[in-house]
Amino acid sequence: MQSLKKSLSTLIQLTDTEFQFLEDKLVRHHFATKSIIVNQEKVVNHIYFIEKGLLRTYYLQDSKEINTYFACENQFITVYSSFITQTPSIEFLEAIEDSIVYSISYNTMKELYEFDSKFEKLGRIIAEKNYLCVIERTRKMQSLTAKQKYLDFIESHDKKIVTSVPQHQIATYLGIAPESLSRVRKQISLS
């Protein structure tokens, strides 16, 4: 739980009492490799903080998995569009490897917002960071070459994500064919 406290302290300062109040609301989960945490077409009712492990979000397009996000230790993840709007998800959330996460429900988040404005500010900061991430990713997807996308990916993502996520999943995340990613990786290793 110290990892959550440390991560939150980079966003907002909570007193020990405030953090304890939050901690009492969290539920610990263990998800085995390939566990589906959120199913497509279900309303997402939880946001997750990863203590250990690696998770991804993806959707299906013509029976092909298209990856939209990866998260590992000390990061938050959910299908934000469904969580925020409380409408059915268009994505899946899956454990890439055995993972230990803490969750908080949508209703509990609302209670926290009402309890103390610090929690509402924390929710806003997380939402803002998520929005900026989406905007930046969209810009990169539209303007970078395959090589630039991959170089940016390895520079901007946690080393665990870069080394542990299967290459075909990284390829769909970057919007390039797996064969193109293989060529790019070969070019980089030769230079």
Rounded (5°) CA angle 63-43-139:
60
Query: What are the Cα distances from residue 21, in Å, to 87, 112, 116, 125, 146?
Result: 28, 9, 11, 19, 46
Q: Rounded CA gap, 90 and 68, in Å?
A: 11
| pLDDT in the model for residue 190 | 86
Instruction: Write the DSSP string, 99-151.
Output: EEEEEEEHHHHHHHHHH-HHHHHHHHHHHHHHHHHHHHHHHHHHH--HHHHHH
Instruction: Write the DSSP string, 33-64.
Output: TT-EEE-TTSB--EEEEEEESEEEEEEEETTE
pLDDT by residue (tens digit) across 3-44? 999 999 999 999 999 999 999 999 999 999 999 999 999 999
| pLDDT in the model for residue 150 | 96
pTM: 0.92
Q: Rounded CA gap, 143 and 146, in Å?
A: 10
Asked if pLDDT for residue 191 goes beyond 90, the answer is: no
Query: What are the Cα distances from residue 80, in Å, to 88, 92, 172?
Result: 11, 11, 20
- Coil vs helix vs strand at 191: coil
Residue 100 CB neighbours (<10 A): 15
What does pLDDT average to over the chain?
95
pLDDT by residue (tens digit) across 156-181? 999 999 999 999 999 999 999 999 99
| pLDDT in the model for residue 38 | 96
pLDDT by residue (tens digit) across 44-81? 999 999 999 999 999 999 999 999 999 999 999 999 99
